[in-house]
Structure 1
């Protein structure tokens, strides 16, 4: 458990420095050094680190096939599925031969579907941003 927890500590230290992290968890640098070399931090210190950086426990949680998410988190994918389904229904109706323009979509149908298509655009942009975030390196190599 200690090694997995210290991976989270290390990521934060790489990002902000040892002294700044020690201040955030209300611990001196010598105490932080003890933790990094084998002493287990108290639950209060772990709690302060988690309050500061919600990813500090990711390695430990992943070892248990778990992850921490906000209690009020909403699954974006479910929303996207609903938006996609509505957009498909709208497109099928707009291109139906019995519609106002036959298979051609009329100006009124385009304008009627504008809000839905903008919602779909936002949902797909959110998806693509998550892909970008996944590909973004979490640690920058230095020489």
Structure 2
């Protein structure tokens, strides 16, 4: 029922009931413990994909998209590639000596932007984890 409550908070009671194709009275019955059928659970997943998160987590499972790509698949390689570029740029025999010059920095731009995108995504996920949940 935590998932149902979360969906109601997110969508509104009427809109969630409409997505399930049931009345708000029937939705209230579900909130007091009436077990919905699979067809309703399926519609709830379409309306709010997180409705079963607690149940799935309690079973030690998780649902991922069929074509999901891990957001850290290439992170280690990306960081290693950028580290190599930094090491080269900071080497005493590099064009700027120990100082990184514009040509070296511009040569790292693509890697820096990719890393910035990855770390921004991670920070967004952390914010979502830390965001307090409201219960209606």
TM-score band w.r.t. shorter chain: 0.7 to 0.9
2:51 corresponds to? 56
- The answer as to whether partners of 1:94 and 1:103 remain within 8 angstroms in 2 is yes
Q: CA 1:107/1:11 → structure 2, altered by over 3 Å: closer, same or farther?
A: closer
1:88 corresponds to? 83
Structure scoring higher RCO (CA < 8 A, sep ≥ 6) equals 2
- The answer as to whether partners of 1:80 and 1:124 remain within 8 angstroms in 2 is no
Q: Secondary structure at the residue paired with 1:126?
A: helix
- The answer as to whether partners of 1:24 and 1:49 remain within 8 angstroms in 2 is yes
Could you tell which deviates more after superposition, 19-28 or 56-65?
A: 19-28
Is 1:41–2:33 an aligned residue pair?
Answer: no
RMSD between aligned residues: 1.9
- The answer as to whether partners of 1:84 and 1:120 remain within 8 angstroms in 2 is yes
Which segments of 5 or more consecutive residues in structure 2 lack a partner in the other structure? none
Q: CA 1:101/1:38 → structure 2, altered by over 3 Å: closer, same or farther?
A: closer
Which segments of 5 or more consecutive residues in structure 1 lack a partner in the other structure? 1-5
Q: Secondary structure at the residue paired with 2:73?
A: helix
Q: CA 1:109/1:35 → structure 2, altered by over 3 Å: closer, same or farther?
A: same
Alignment length, in residue pairs?
136
1:19 to 7, 14, 18: 14
Between the aligned partners of 1:68 and 1:47, the Cα distance in structure 2 is: 14
Q: Report the TM-score when normalising by structure 1.
A: 0.83
Per-residue deviation at 1:84? Answer: 0.9
